[in-house]
Structure 1
Amino acid sequence: MSGAAVSMFGGAASETLVCASDKLAARLDELQFDLGEGPRWEARHTRLPVLVPDVRDAHPYSWPVFSKAILETEAAALFVFPLTVGALDLGVVELHHTKPGSLSEADRATASVLAAQTAWHLLRRVLLVNSPDTDPAVETALLSRREIHQATGMVLAQSGTSVADALLLMRAHAFANALSLRETADAVLQGSLNFAPQNDRDGNRGLQ
């Protein structure tokens, strides 16, 4: 593999990039988070590995926006393994390679074992977040998207939608304006972006 990233779902640190081996691994995770589609979401929903040996041929999956966006990166293959412990869905491990190619049965088995070990390690770390002995670096990583979640709450209040729809609104705005979701969240928190209906704003004109 050329690189790897670990993301966590659920709990106080929902949809958080815990660690990445390099900038490309972090970028691939961020792209999927911003766009709301891609193999990480497929692995989360199915609880099964999602193997894409050639990103130019993502069949049988349908990720129209992400499939186009990933072609602008150096990644040529993606292999995503869910992180599960019993009934708990903790997150995903995202592996990428800069050359296309499939995993052998032995490589897939090894990756599955390592994913299981990572899931237990992540669970132990999560349980320590509120402990007095928590490593500050771990806590910072787990809460790295706190601002996005705060902004989602503000958009929920402004628009009167659900949490999922509030996040979808921010993702749509980010995509339409060539921004990252983090930049969009910052604009919401700073008050320069408002998703309330126009007639609910005191003198504000349209969506900023």
Structure 2
Amino acid sequence: MPDFAPSVPDGTDGVDLCAPFLLHLPVNGAAVTMFGGASAETLVCSSGAIATRLDELQFDLGEGPRWEAARTRQPVLVPDVHSPLPYSWPVLSKALEKTGVAAIFVYPLTVGALDLGVVELHRTTPGSLSTSDQSTAAVIADETAWHLLRRVLSVNSPDTDPTVDTALMSRREIHQATGMVLAQAGTTATEALLLLRAHAFAKALTLRETADEVLQGRLSFAPHREAPGRPGLQ
């Protein structure tokens, strides 16, 4: 599998999360927006004015494929925003006439049960993403979601020292919960602990309290995706 880890400086933590989408996909623009955390919503990166405007329009109007992708945790693919098919977002569709956007592809950014944000891709000419391109977009979106999770925790979590992680892993309940999360999310032990820490941070819980929820079966990190994608504007 190709390595899609972002590597272009963006002026914050040294990477541009939009760059891999532009490099590996037939799209003209990208924007990554993060939900939750210290603010209700943050535009993490944008490839240009059109991508920024597309993000702003959906936020201002409260409708659009990005909201559906966030709600359903499924990609929303709109190969032609001017299609005669009945639109789900009539106000946005009218506003898009002045932007030059002809196609929109939105992927949710999720890690296990955590919803971190969305990536909004667009083209200035109509056209679908191939099956291969959809798979590539999903892989990059997963990489982006993990990066956002690490970014949030590195800024907001006090447990950033590796020695702290080692101490936490020595506690039996957290060790057991980490193993369960590892199996649920199909990830590594390090990433499973990261998921536990992220949930604890988001819910204002201690790591031990979060681990107890997992052990008692009240919390699961199993992904909820059912399909690789589906058409939008239906």
Q: Report how far residue 59 of structure 1 moved.
A: 4.2
Aligned counterparts of 1:124 and 1:44: Cα–Cα separation in 2: 20
Residue 2 of structure 1 is matched in structure 2 by 28
Q: Report how far residue 72 of structure 1 moved.
A: 1.0
Q: Report how far residue 67 of structure 1 moved.
A: 0.9
Count of matched residue positions in the alignment of Structure 1 and Structure 2: 133
Q: 1:21 is matched with which residue: 25, 47, 64?
A: 47
Aligned counterparts of 2:86 and 2:72: Cα–Cα separation in 1: 14
Query: How much identity, in percent, do the aligned residues show?
Result: 73
Aligned counterparts of 2:73 and 2:128: Cα–Cα separation in 1: 20
CA contact (8 A) 2:29 2:121 kept: yes
Aligned counterparts of 1:89 and 1:130: Cα–Cα separation in 2: 17
Stretches of structure 1 lacking an aligned partner (at least 5 in a row): 133-208
Write the deviation string for residues 143-197 of structure 1: whole angstroms up to 9, x where unpaired.
Answer: xxxxxxxxxxxxxxxxxxxxxxxxxxxxxxxxxxxxxxxxxxxxxxxxxxxxxxx
Residue 175 of structure 1 is matched in structure 2 by none
**Is it true that 1:12 corresponds to 2:42 in the alignment?**
no
Could you list the structure 1 runs, at least 4 aligned residues long, displaced by more than 6 angstroms after superposition.
Answer: none
CA contact (8 A) 2:37 2:152 kept: no
Kindly indicate which of the two structures has a greater share of residues assigned to helix: 1
Q: Report how far residue 57 of structure 1 moved.
A: 2.1
Write the deviation string for residues 99-130 of structure 1: whole angstroms up to 9, x where unpaired.
Answer: 00001000000000000000000111111223
Q: Report how far residue 13 of structure 1 moved.
A: 2.2
**Is it true that 1:118 corresponds to 2:144 in the alignment?**
yes
One-letter amino acid matched to 1:7: T
Aligned counterparts of 2:146 and 2:79: Cα–Cα separation in 1: 27
Q: 2:117 is matched with which residue: 59, 84, 91?
A: 91
Q: Report how far residue 14 of structure 1 moved.
A: 1.9
Structure 1 length-normalised TM: 0.61
Aligned counterparts of 1:82 and 1:18: Cα–Cα separation in 2: 14
The alpha-carbon distance between structure 1 residues 58 and 13, as it changes in their structure 2 partners (threshold 3 A), is farther
Residue 69 of structure 2 is matched in structure 1 by 43
Aligned counterparts of 1:54 and 1:5: Cα–Cα separation in 2: 19
**Is it true that 1:33 corresponds to 2:59 in the alignment?**
yes
CA contact (8 A) 1:58 1:67 kept: no
Q: Report how far residue 60 of structure 1 moved.
A: 5.8
Q: Report how far residue 88 of structure 1 moved.
A: 0.3
Stretches of structure 2 lacking an aligned partner (at least 5 in a row): 1-26, 159-234
SS of residue paired to 1:5: strand
One-letter amino acid matched to 1:84: T
Residue 190 of structure 2 is matched in structure 1 by none
Structure 2 length-normalised TM: 0.54
Q: Report how far residue 61 of structure 1 moved.
A: 4.7
**Is it true that 1:127 corresponds to 2:159 in the alignment?**
no
The alpha-carbon distance between structure 1 residues 120 and 61, as it changes in their structure 2 partners (threshold 3 A), is farther
CA contact (8 A) 1:52 1:58 kept: no
